Amino acid sequence: AQKVTQAQTEISVVEKEDVTLDCVYETRDTTYYLFWYKQPPSGELVFLIRRNSFDEQNEISGRYSWNFQKSTSSFNFTITASQVVDSAVYFCALSEFMDSNYQLIWGAGTKLIIKP
Amino acid sequence: EAGVVQSPRYKIIEKKQPVAFWCNPISGHNTLYWYLQNLGQGPELLIRYENEEAVDDSQLPKDRFSAERLKGVDSTLKIQPAELGDSAVYLCASSGGTGIGTDTQYFGPGTRLTVL
pLDDT in tens, B15-69: 999 999 999 999 999 999 999 999 889 999 999 998 999 988 988 999 999 999 9
pLDDT at position B25 is 95
Beta carbon pairs, A and B, within 8 Å: 53
In A1-116, DSSP assigns E strands to 4-5, 10-14, 19-21, 24-25, 33-39, 46-52, 59-61, 64-69, 74-79, 88-98, 101-106, 110-115
Q: What is the pLDDT of residue B1?
A: 67
Nearest to B66, CA basis, from B50, B84, B49: B49
**Chain B positions in Cβ-Cβ contact with residue A42 (cut-off 8 Å):** 109
Q: Give every residue of chain A whose pLDDT is below 50, as ranges.
A: none
Most A-contacting residue of B102, B103, B104, B111 (CB-CB within 10 A), to test interface: B102
Average pLDDT of every residue of chain B? 92
The distance of A59 to chain B (nearest Cα, Å) reads 17
Could you tell me which of A72, A27, A21, A28 has the C-alpha nearest to residue A49?
A21
Measured CA to CA, the distance from residue B31 to residue A97 in angstroms comes to 17
Write out chain A residues lying below 8 Å of B105, CB-based: 47, 104
Mean residue pLDDT across chain A? 92
In chain B, which residue's Cα lies nearest the Cα of A102? Answer: B101
Answer yes or no: do A106 and B42 touch at CB < 8 A. Answer: yes
